[in-house]
Structures are given as C-alpha cells and as structure tokens.
C-alpha cells in the first residue's frame, strides 16, 4: 500500500492477521521495509507486522524535492498519523539505524501510541547545532557521490569499519545486491532531509520517556555500544542488550538471536 501523508511518501507491507498485536518496523538508510520480511514471516503467527518503506527508499519515491529543513519532524508526524488511522491498539516499535533515529523521535513525541520499543544501532542525534551543520555538509558530499556513481558509492559505503562484520558474513552479497535496487536520486534526497544532521537532538527528551525500551548494539560496534550506555543513564525504563560477535547490522548478522531477544522483551510482563 502506497501512501503520501502531508507530502511524505510511504509504502507499507503488512504480514499477519490485523487483529493480532502490531509491530511497526523501520529500516535503515539504503534499505526498505522488505529488509524485515524474513523476520515478519517468523513472527506472523503472533503479531501483525507492518513494514514501512521510508521516504526515498523502496517504493516510497519523492514526487518532488522535499524541503531540507523540518522534513525529519514532518516525517515523524506523518508516521504518527499513519498509525492513528488504524483501529489497532497500541503498537510495538522497532527501528534500525536511520529508522532507529526516526523510531526514537516518534516514541518520544507520541508515547501514547506504543507499548514497547526496540532501537537498534541508533542514536538520539547530535547534541549541538555546530555538529549538526558539520554533518549536513558531510552528508551533502555523500549525496553528490550517490548521484554521480551509485555503484561506486555502495562499494565505498560498505568499506566503512562500521560494516566490517557484515562484509565477512555469508549474507553480504545478497544485501549488497538489494541495496543497488534503490533509486540514486531518491536516496540522495533522503540523505539530505533525513540524515543525522537534519535531526534535532533528542538527548534531553530521553528523560521524559515512560515506555519500556531496549537498545540493541553489536559488540563490535563500539561507538553505538557507548551511545547505548549513555542513553540508558538518561532514559527511564531502558536497558542495553549487546549482541556478541556482531557489528552495526546485528539483526542481519545473527537473526536468530535478534528474534529471540525481540520476542522475550515483547512477551515479558512488566512489573
């Protein structure tokens, strides 16, 4: 199902009976909602899994160039409106990397919509305006690389230390091929409007959280392990789960452990 809400494009893939408890899955940069499909199929007996193509990814193409300023917040509000349209009760929320940043902002702004949330390899954004502007400049350079030489960009992207464990995993070639299906123009636009530099800092808002949260980070992804530790200190009701031998893409590198920990957390009765 394709939707545009307040000028924000989405495509939604749903697996499972709509009468079951709902899990909303948000993917990372270069991905699509179908990244979560293998997990959704395993969860579909107990949950209705709603996998969203975020703007500029998969089938959620931009009809026109979105505004750079404010589009991140606009996307958060549009996601909330999308969820409110359904008669479903409160949802579970899962977001990875870029989708994790959106999920965290969505949770902190619309806590009444969610029962529990899992944030995977993601942060509450950059703390200062100076850091955000510097990141915007960096992301603009990356966007131009995407537009000039998409295949070369994909190769360089996965050469980052962040993805070293994925590159040595048996699933890597499949993942790399799937990433090349996306449209370079749309991805470049998405980076310009949804990149970390366009997100306002959520660090101070963490203290107001009242929804149980699990932060997932790979043991080899030291930066996000440290970010997770900082977040747990500030965010009530949160805990950090570290995945052994995994990096940034822990949900791909150890899908079985990811599913086990997801189901344990979502099924756990809160005291």
CA torsion through residues 179, 183, 188, 194, sign = negative
Specify the 3-state DSSP secondary structure of 201. Answer: coil
Q: Percentage of the chain with pLDDT > 70?
A: 98
Radius of gyration of the chain (CA): 17
At 117-152, the pLDDT tens digits run 999 999 999 999 999 999 999 999 999 999 999 999
At 188-242, the pLDDT tens digits run 999 999 999 999 999 999 999 999 999 999 999 999 999 999 999 999 999 999 9
Token code pair at residue 125: 């954004």
- Residue 33: phi and psi, rounded to 5, are -60, -30
Q: Which residues sit opposite 25 in a β-bridge?
A: 51, 94
Spatial distance between the Cα atoms of 23 and 258, rounded to a whole number of angstroms: 15
Fold classification of 2-267 is Rossmann fold (3.40.50)
Q: Are 74 and 94 in contact (CB under 8 A)?
A: no
Half-sphere exposure of 169 (CA within 13 A, CB side): 21
Kind of pairing between the strands at 8-15 and 2-5: antiparallel
- Say what the pTM is: 0.95
Kind of pairing between the strands at 8-15 and 48-53: antiparallel
């Amino acid at each position: 199902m394709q939707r545009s809400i307040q000028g924000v494009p989405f495509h939604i893939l749903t697996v499972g009976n709509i009468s079951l408890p709902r899990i909303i899955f948000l993917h990372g940069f270069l991905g699509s909602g179908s990244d979560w499909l293998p997990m959704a199929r395993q969860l579909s007996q107990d949950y209705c899994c709603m996998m969203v193509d975020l703007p500029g990814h998969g089938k959620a193409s931009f009809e026109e160039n979105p505004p750079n300023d404010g589009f991140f917040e606009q996307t958060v509000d549009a996601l909330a409106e999308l969820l409110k349209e359904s008669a479903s009760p409160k949802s579970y929320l899962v977001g990875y990397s870029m989708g994790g940043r959106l999920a965290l902002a969505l949770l902190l702004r619309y806590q009444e919509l969610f029962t529990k949330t899992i944030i995977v390899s993601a942060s509450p954004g950059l703390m200062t305006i100076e850091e955000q502007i510097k990141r915007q400049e960096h992301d603009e350079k990356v966007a131009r690389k995407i537009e000039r030489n998409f295949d070369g960009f994909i190769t360089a992207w996965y050469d980052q230390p962040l993805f070293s464990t994925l590159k040595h995993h048996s699933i890597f070639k499949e993942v790399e091929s799937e990433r090349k299906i996306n449209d370079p123009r749309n991805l470049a636009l998405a980076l310009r409007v949804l990149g970390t530099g366009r997100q306002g800092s959520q660090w101070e808002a963490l203290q107001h959280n009242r929804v149980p949260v699990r932060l997932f980070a790979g043991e080899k992804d030291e930066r996000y392990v440290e970010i997770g530790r900082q977040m747990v200190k500030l965010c009530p009701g949160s805990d950090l789960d570290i995945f052994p031998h995994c990096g940034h893409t822990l949900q791909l590198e150890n899908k079985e452990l990811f599913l086990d920990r997801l189901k344990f957390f979502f099924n756990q009765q809160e005291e």
